[in-house]
Amino acid sequence: MRYTLEQLFNQAVLDNLAVNLDSPIAEARLVYGCKIVREYEDGTIFIQNTAKGGDFYKVLTEEELEPFIENGWRHGVYVVALDNYRRKLDAVERAIRQEMNGRQNPKIITSLKSHRERILNKYNIVTQKLNHE
């Protein structure tokens, strides 16, 4: 079944994990770094990735929207969350390699490895949720 943005927004409203971020200009829900927004003025609905874009969240591309449209809100949220965790893991791995080839500060290396472990745990939790969907 293919879902419309309106159906996805309604699923997000009913999602018990979603945080309500309603404001005077829009309704919004947030789960695992995915924010879905419906503007009051014109009813425009869009989904953003809060882990990308720095100060301004990135609106999902057509390719990134596909898991949502094909399988629904929660499935799409899990797919985006896993992608975000993979990107964070890559950054931590690069930082570990850089530190190992540079100063070799044991405190920094220990901290980075601990950070990597936390990300891997989150990744595994979301993977299990996606598989049990």
Parallel, antiparallel or unpaired: strands 26-31 and 45-49: unpaired
Token readout for 97 is 């390699």
pTM (2 decimals)? 0.90
Token readout for 47 is 């989904």
Per-residue pLDDT band at 55 (split at 50, 70, 90): confident
Per-residue pLDDT band at 129 (split at 50, 70, 90): very high
Number of domains in the chain: 1
pLDDT in tens, 87-104: 999 999 999 999 999 988
Parallel, antiparallel or unpaired: strands 58-59 and 19-20: unpaired
Q: Find, among 25, 6, 76, 75, the residue nearest to 48 by Cα.
A: 76
Do 28 and 37 touch, CB atoms closer than 8 A?
yes
Statement: residue 78 has pLDDT above 90: yes
Range of the domain at 114: 5-131
- Cα gap 124→127, rounded to integer Å: 5
Contacts of 24 (CB under 8 A, 6+ apart): 40
